Structure formats: C-alpha cells, structure tokens
Amino acid sequence: MSEIGLIANGAVAVAGDEILAVGASDEIVGRVELAENCDVISAEHHVVTPGLIDPHTHPVFVGTREAEFEMRVAGKSYMEIAQAGGGIRATVRRVREASDEELYAAAHKTVTSLLAHGITTIEAKSGYGLSTEAEIKSLEVIRRLNELEPIDLYPTFLGAHEVPDEYRDRRADYIDLVIKEMIPAVAAKKLALFCDVFCEEGVFTIDESRAILEAARAAGMELKLHADELKSTGGAELAAELGAVSADHLMFISDTGIEKLAASHTTAVLLPGTTFALGSEKAAPARTMINKGVIVALSTDCNPGSSMTESLTMIMT
C-alpha cells in the first residue's frame, strides 16, 4: 500500500492510441524523436495517471431514487426505507418493466459518464432484476456494453442483492432459486466472472451467504461480498474464510474481521460515497486496516440510490 509508483517530473510519449514510453522527462526527451507536427502538452502541477479502475459499480438500472434522500434527511434509516418498499426493490420494479433497449440505453449513459471521469475499467454488477430472466437480461446488457464501448467491464452476478417482493414470505425459496436456477443459468451462458451477495442483517445471513457463494464457486465464479455495511455481522470474516476477491463497504468491520482480512489475499473495497450519501457518522476504518496490512481499494459504488456518482476522483478526496 505504500508503493504508489510515483514518477516525479515525468513524461508520457503517445503516438495515435499507443503509449510509447513513460518515465522521467529527461529520459523520455532523450529517447523519443518528436515529429514536426507533434503536440507537446504541459501537465505541470498536474497528475498524469493510468486509466482508473472502479472495483464496485451497479451500472445497470433505470431511474433514480432521489426521493429517498428526503426520507433519510427526515430520519428514516436505510433498512426502514427498504422495508417500506423503497431501496433496491424500487429499482428492481423499474428494471423488470424496462425493455432490453431501455435498459441498455440507461446503462450506456452511466458507463459513458464513468469513462468521462477517467475510469477505463469497472466491475459491473447485476442485482436489480432478482429473477432469472431479469438478472440474465442485466448481465447481457453488461456483455453488450463490454463488446461495444472503449471501457473494460468485469461482470458480477448479484442475484442475492435483496429478497424480491414476491418472495418476502418465502425467502428460503428465493435462496433455492438463486442457487439451483440462477447460478447455473448464468454460468451456462458465461455471463459473470464473479458472484456477490449482500450479507447484512435483514438481507442475507452469514449461513445463507456462504451457501450461495459456495454454489457460485462450484459453478466457476470468483467470490465477492457486500459486508458489514450497516452492522457488524461477520461478513469480513466470511470473505476471508472463503478466499473472496473482495469484501466491500466494511463500515462496521470488527477487529477480528480486520485481522482475518490482513491474513488473507481479500481486498477491502471501501465506498465512502455511500457513507456520505447515507449521512452515516460511521466510516470504514481505512487507516487502521492499512496499518494492519489489509489490501485496501476505493470505489464509487455508483448506483441509483445510495451513491449516485461516477467520479472516482471525488471518492479519493
């Protein structure tokens, strides 16, 4: 985490869409012959960086949920809004109603904005379909965007983002649907590299999350986990136990969770935009994690309800 790869007084030589050389200015000037029509751009007092990587986004959605901000200002919690039919399930209803082209157009707008903010690689989740048909529709939009746009998308299946309305009284049946139908269908079409679960009180328990993730791993997917966002539930510990690629959010990570992540190769993906948007006084203990040896990354958590931003540079501040 302390090796940032800084090149002071650096230079980049570019021809067309190819980067020819990167290094100290004196070195590059000595190595590269400039054509007469070459553009020389001074970036003095600025930073030149490779394309940014956003490791946690939800770009496939229709509509936004700004009305929920007013509810939060009035004192409603994230879970109270969700239990009243808002939150993730509100977006699910919009996504299910949308045609393939409407969903693609909306996602294209979001992805284009991410690219305009300097982000050239994103992890892109489904999770606003919550039915086999709608989850596949969302993942196919991600595949289409990846084929057509100058940005790399790494798809994540997030069928366990929430329990949909029609399964509120049959959550065990929904978990069976995710494990026995959704995961095999997604794997058969090779639509996702990763599987994620929202492991949180009132959403999916530790045991439920483990069962879903183990099924996904058996189907050939790498694992990710929304963990310890609203309460400390042991999500970080589960991510480390299963060898997940990442544990995300972690605002309420326990000391044990930090120790387990530090002893693992699991990256802690922190989402300060969500902390800000939810008006939370509790932030993920980034400095403590770094000091303990945890691998830490930052992300926008770009989504329509709790972090409607495409600016990773803002997140860095």
State the residue range of the domain holding 296.
Answer: 52-316
User: Mind listing the pLDDT tens digit for each residue in 141-191?
Assistant: 999 999 987 899 999 999 999 999 999 999 999 999 999 999 999 999 999
Are 123 and 227 contained in the same domain? yes
State residue 134's pLDDT score: 98
d(CA 262, CA 51): 27
pLDDT in tens, 270-279: 999 999 988 8
Q: Are 137 and 228 in a shared domain?
A: yes
Question: Mean pLDDT throughout 75-93?
Answer: 85
- Look up residue 27 and give its two tokens: 């070195």
- Pair 258, 294: CB distance under 8 Å: yes
> What are the tens digits of pLDDT across the range 118-151?
999 999 999 999 999 999 999 999 999 999 878 9
Torsion of CA 75, 78, 83, 84, to 10 degrees: 50
Are residues 105 and 222 both part of a single domain? yes
Whether residue 282 sits in one domain with residue 233: yes
Pair (36, 60) in one structural domain: no
Same domain, 36 and 168: no
Residue 254's pLDDT is 98
Mind listing the pLDDT tens digit for each residue in 61-71?
A: 998 888 887 88
Please check whether residues 171 and 253 belong to one and the same domain.
Answer: yes
Using CA atoms, how far apart are residues 256 and 254, in angstroms rounded to an integer? 5
Top pLDDT among 258 and 306 is at 258
Q: What is the pLDDT of residue 165?
A: 92
Number of domains in the chain: 2
Q: What is the mean pLDDT of the chain?
A: 94
In this structure, are 36 and 105 located in the same domain?
Answer: no
| Domain CATH code at residue 101 | 3.20.20.140
Does residue 106 share a domain with residue 2? Answer: no
Q: pLDDT at position 83, please?
A: 78
